[in-house]
Amino acid sequence: MNKYRTHTCGELSIKDKNKKISLSGWINKKRDHGNLLFLDLRDNYGITQCVIDNTHQNFKELEKLPLESVIKIEGKVIERTKETLNKELNTGEIEISIISYEILGNTKELPMPVFSDQEYSEEIRLKYRFLDLRRKKIHQNIILRSKVISFIRSEMEKNGFLEFQTPILTSSSPEGARDFLVPSRLNPGKFYALPQAPQQFKQLIMVSGFDKYFQIAPCFRDEDARADRSPGEFYQLDLEMSFVEQEDVFEIVEKLMTNVFKKFSNKKMLYDKFPKISYSDAMIKYGTDKPDLRNPIIINQFTEVFKREDVSFDIFKKLVNKGSIVRGIVAKNTKDKPRSFFDGIDQWAKDQGASGLAYFTIEKDTELKGKGPVGKFFGQDSIKEIMKISNAEVGDSIFLACGKKGEVENILSMARDKIANDLNLINYDTFAFCWIVDYPMFEVDEKTKKITFSHNPFSMPQGNINKIDFSKPLEIKAYQYDIVCNGIELSSGAIRNHIPELMYKLFSIAGYNKKLVDEKFSGMINALSYGAPPHGGIAPGIDRIIMLLAGEKNIREVTMFPMNQNAQDLMMEAPSQITEEQLKELNLTFKKNK
């Protein structure tokens, strides 16, 4: 028999009545009646109430034990009387009459309570993460994470994928995010990089003939954190398949996502079949390539309206003459909203750094007219035109943004969320997945005005390879795709370019000559020259999937040992200083700051 326990704290029931048992766990809570003490013992599996009274020789000692002490209890399972049942606990029909106890682990005074639904500062939670993780909600989140990953593994294996590990110490690559670098002791002056993703390796696995690969892969990117972005490291379900087209990848991943979300959440899936939206459509209709499709609002194009004679809104007209565009969204049935609602949204837009949102409400007495600050600038026919474009009706309001394409897309994509939220249009009990497809191969860097890869340099351009017009690189689309759920980008992937000549050509457009490509992507380009299969894949973000399933807004709530915003581990005190000796071994010296 196990020395510490015969049962866990979550499993005893009325069936075990009168059994002599032992439990081990933490003292979750005590209720001390002076001559009668209730003690809730907690472990990973649940809570069991234990009871002792002053006729017992150990009563005084147990009364004094601080919460979160680890103890072993030996006792007898007693059926609770009808009045004293606790329906909230699985073990609420019974309690343990304590016969003896043993202290297994003492505790100092707690820096934060474990038994409490209060929220604590991140600083204290991260420093004492082992205490924080004992708390119910986050404990359950981490268990959920384990179960989801385990389920994904078995689904992938069922689908014939093989799991492989890829190197953690690899080479730095010029594309993408900033690398974490590791100095090489044996190669002075040279550095490894931690992989931003196993991108090249998974393609090499395909070239090596393994056909279907997956991995729950750690990815390292030295970029600043966000609520949904860990600083430093995160996990992807990295997968790659040979001899496939885009649709084959979609089929596998769509099925997987559906199975995962149906199994681990009660929320409804808005679509059985994920809609496919082209990148350019997404930018026009939603102003972003990660639209929240739970939100019914769609952006409309109104630029032409501002060229009409019966529109006298001069500020916008002048801007349109100079090449600005006008787009807008409809807020349904808002004619009775107070002025503060509209001004609030305009002010909100200004707070976001936009020049504001013009708005008016469509009214009708004898004829159509616009009510609100800019309403008077629109003649009846122009309002009809606006209603035709946007399907707006009398009683609806129009919010308009004017400016450069990027600015307008940006503010309206945010306004879509803001207004839908204010008007309560979003059903939070649903998951709305979609595919964003047909990404452009290249884009122009706003700052440098140079042409760069818009996504992943290894993607396959669309169309007949022999007929691609390389003189118009911005028109080349790629077999590149993202999965978006509820406005969160879950993953991106692509059919890869497995043809070296084409790769050189595309890289040359982005300013890499052949020599540079050979140098920076030697592993890849070399491998593609020895019989590479057509292949493609994708890499859904594990952390974000868990966030959606757990309904958490912050990635730290689904990460066991996260770092803070400054990429520090407050518990382990990483990063830390190293010794002169270590530096010397690595052939490194510090540059003194002034």
User: Which one among 14, 36, 572, 588 touches RNA, defined by CB under 7 A?
Assistant: 36
User: What is the number of residues in the chain?
Assistant: 594
Taking CB under 7 A as the binding criterion, the range among 50-58, 147-155, 323-331, 333-341 that sits at the site for RNA is: 50-58
What backbone phi and psi angles, to 5 degrees, belong to 422? -60, -35
Distance CA 94, CA 97 (A): 10
CB of 461 to RNA, least distance (A): 15
- The enclosing H or E element of 506 equals helix 500-509
Q: Taking CB under 7 A as the rule, does residue 482 contact RNA?
A: yes
Distance of CA 180 to the CA centre of its chain: 21
- Smallest distance, RNA to C-beta of residue 432, A: 19
Q: How far is the CB of 40 from RNA (least distance, A)?
A: 7
Q: Name which of residues 209 to 248 contact RNA (CB under 7 A).
A: 221, 223-229
Binding mask 163-182 for RNA (x = CB under 7 A): -------------xxx----
DSSP state for residue 400 in the 8-state scheme: E
Q: Which range binds RNA by CB under 7 A, 52-60, 258-266, 313-321, 571-579?
A: 52-60
Rounded Cα distance, 412 and 329, in Å: 7
Establish if 249 lies at the interface with RNA (CB under 7 A). no
Q: Do residues 244 and 534 touch, judged by C-beta distance below 8 A? A: yes
User: Among positive and negative, which fits the CA dihedral 182, 186, 190, 194?
Assistant: negative
Region 556-575 residues binding RNA, contact defined as CB under 7 A: 556, 564-566, 568, 570
Q: 515 or 591: whose CB is closer to RNA? A: 591
Q: Please give the full DSSP string across 344-392, using - where no structure is assigned.
A: HHHHHHHHTTS---EEEEEEESSSEEEESTTGGGB-HHHHHHHHHHHT-
- Written as six digits, the tokens of 359 are 């708005």
- Which residues in the 498-517 window bind RNA by CB under 7 A? none
Q: Which residue's CB is nearer to RNA, number 65 or number 387?
A: 65
Which 94-153 residues touch RNA, going by CB under 7 A?
Answer: 95, 109-113, 116, 118-124, 126
Of 53 and 343, CB closest to RNA: 53
Q: Residue 381 Cβ, how far from RNA at the closest point, in Å?
A: 38
- Residue whose CB is less far from RNA, 90 or 159: 90
Whole-angstrom distance, CA of residue 21 vs CA of residue 238 = 46
The interface mask with RNA, positions 429-468, x = CB under 7 A, is ----------x------xx------xxx------------
Q: Which stretch binds RNA (CB under 7 A): 31-39, 256-264, 467-475, 582-590?
A: 31-39
What phi and psi values does residue 319 have, to the nearest 5 degrees?
-60, -40
H or E stretch covering 268: strand 268-269
Choice from 40, 43, 179, 292 touching RNA (CB under 7 A): 40
Stretch touching RNA by CB under 7 A, among 28-36, 255-263, 571-579, 584-592: 28-36
CA distances to 13, 329, 331, 334 from 393, rounded to whole Å, are: 61, 13, 10, 11
Q: How many chain residues interact with RNA (CB under 7 A)?
A: 73
The answer to whether 258 and 250 have CB atoms below 8 angstroms apart is no
Q: Is position 83 an interface residue for RNA (rule: CB under 7 A)?
A: yes
Q: Which is nearer to RNA, 358 or 570 (CB)?
A: 570
Nearer to RNA, 116 or 321 (CB): 116
**3-class secondary structure, 68:** coil
Q: Which is nearer to RNA, 231 or 379 (CB)?
A: 231
Nearer to RNA, 84 or 140 (CB): 84
Q: In what order do the strands lie in the sheet containing 325-331?
A: 300-301, 325-331, 397-403, 358-364, 368-371
Q: Which of 15, 17, 53, 275 binds RNA (CB under 7 A)?
A: 53
Span 272-311, contacts to RNA by CB under 7 A: 289
Of the residues 33, 158, 318, 404, which one makes contact with RNA according to CB under 7 A: 33
What is the rounded distance in angstroms from the CA atom of residue 60 to the CA atom of residue 405?
Answer: 74
- Which residues have C-beta within 8 Å of that of residue 345, sequence separation ≥ 6? 357, 359, 399, 415, 418, 419, 422
> Of 35 and 58, which CB lies nearer to RNA in the complex structure?
35
Q: What is the three-class DSSP state of 13?
A: coil
